[in-house]
């Protein structure tokens, strides 16, 4: 069951952005990354929750009269290294895992943007030795990462979305052919399901229904998608078939998180955190239990009612 750990103070606040928390477990330390305005705060903590070090990273200035805002910070765990990726309104910055050295900078091309259109990168995930980052244009930029060194190459741009990308989720393909191992979401609610490789392949598209999809997760061939109207939907990744629709929130789902070893998904919206324990089978995906975590007491209690629609 879930339990509340010791609180860890930050030097500043965290911006009200979707998916605004990245966590990395490494060598008996837990690293946290959050965004606020033009900077990202990195915090390292010991197992008992004692903060050990804090670092602040800023978005690369580039051309412009104002400081660019960071949209997301995320640690990408690759087969031979871990990189910290910052996405902003100007471009994409990649650092060594502790944020000490910037190894790559990619400036966003605003040539296709209209005068009233914002330019930014958002949605970050690692897939094998690739790092994928979403863009305002709906494109997904795929970077080929070497085992060491700064010789990072933009290898491909994936076209599947017509509106800005919101989030990207991946899982290991485990050497299987024709396996969906990446899903991307956008502001229209459209989901694109991909197979990674030397050339990424679009397998299927899951249409939206008029609201954004701020956050997605992928687990054992199942997509968990949180939407702007509070819905959470579970799809079969390979076919796009809707299996479960959960109506438990009246407000937008801000983030999803996944415990892959046990199949537990946690959902965040402005007033509560909902924990869903999922069971996956060939026939149907079932919601086993749902618990609510009070932000004030940290205690867990049952949520009632939770409306779940299962489709075979």
Give the chain's domain count: 1
Domain housing 233 = 176-281
Mean pLDDT of 281-305: 40
Query: Per the domain annotation, does 90 fall within a domain?
Result: no
Query: Per the domain annotation, does 265 fall within a domain?
Result: yes
Query: Per the domain annotation, does 3 fall within a domain?
Result: no
What is this structure's pTM? 0.84
Residues 6+ apart with CB under 8 A from 4: 293, 298, 299
Query: Per the domain annotation, does 206 fall within a domain?
Result: yes
- Is the pLDDT confidence value at 240 over 90? yes
Tell me the backbone φ, ψ of residue 8, rounded to 5 degrees: -120, 115
In angstroms, the CA 15 to CA 237 distance is: 31
87 forms beta bridges with 72, 92
Query: Per the domain annotation, does 31 fall within a domain?
Result: no
Query: Per the domain annotation, does 162 fall within a domain?
Result: no
Query: Per the domain annotation, does 224 fall within a domain?
Result: yes
- Is the pLDDT confidence value at 199 over 60? yes
In angstroms, the CA 16 to CA 64 distance is: 24
Residue pLDDT, tens place only, 61-77: 765 557 789 999 999 99
Query: Per the domain annotation, does 146 fall within a domain?
Result: no
Q: Give the residue from 122, 126, 134 showing the smallest Cα distance to 160.
A: 134
In angstroms, the CA 201 to CA 68 distance is: 33
In angstroms, the CA 8 to CA 30 distance is: 11
pLDDT band at 311 (very low <50, low <70, confident <90, very high): low
Q: Is the N-terminal amide bond of 305 cis, ω within 30° of 0?
A: yes
In angstroms, the CA 39 to CA 34 distance is: 9
Any idea what the CATH number is for the domain that residue 205 is in?
2.130.10.10
Query: Cα torsion at 41, 164, 24, 127 (round to 10°)?
Result: -150
| pLDDT (0 to 100) of residue 48 | 74
118-132, 137-151, 208-222, 287-301: segment of lowest average pLDDT: 287-301
């Amino acid at each position: 069951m879930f339990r509340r750990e010791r609180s860890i103070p930050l030097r500043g606040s965290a911006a009200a952005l979707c998916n605004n928390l990245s966590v990395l477990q490494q060598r008996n330390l837990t690293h946290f990354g959050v965004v606020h305005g033009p900077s990202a705060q990195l915090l390292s903590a010991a197992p008992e929750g004692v903060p050990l070090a804090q670092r602040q990273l800023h978005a690369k200035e580039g051309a412009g009269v104002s400081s660019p805002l960071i949209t997301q910070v995320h640690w990408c765990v690759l087969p031979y290294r871990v990189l910290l990726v910052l996405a902003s309104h100007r471009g994409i910055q990649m650092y060594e895992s502790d944020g000490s050295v910037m190894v790559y900078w990619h400036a966003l091309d605003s040539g296709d943007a209209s005068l009233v259109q914002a330019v930014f990168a958002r949605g970050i995930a690692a897939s094998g030795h690739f790092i994928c980052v979403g863009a305002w244009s709906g494109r997904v930029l795929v970077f080929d990462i070497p085992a060491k060194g700064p010789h990072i190459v933009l290898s491909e741009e994936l076209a599947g979305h017509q509106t800005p990308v919101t989030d990207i989720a991946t899982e290991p393909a485990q050497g299987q052919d024709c396996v969906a191992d990446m899903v991307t979401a956008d502001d229209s609610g459209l989901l694109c399901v991909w197979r990674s490789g030397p050339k990424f392949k679009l397998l299927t598209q899951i249409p939206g229904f008029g609201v954004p999809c701020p956050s997605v997760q992928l687990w054992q061939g199942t997509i968990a998608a949180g939407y702007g109207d509070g819905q959470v939907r579970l799809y079969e990744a390979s076919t796009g078939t809707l299996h479960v629709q959960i109506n438990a929130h009246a407000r937008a789902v801000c983030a999803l998180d996944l415990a892959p070893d046990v199949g537990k998904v946690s959902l965040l919206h402005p007033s509560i955190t909902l924990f869903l324990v999922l069971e996956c089978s060939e026939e149907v995906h079932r919601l086993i239990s749902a618990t609510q975590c009070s932000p004030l007491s940290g205690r867990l209690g049952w949520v009632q009612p939770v409306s779940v629609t299962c489709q075979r």
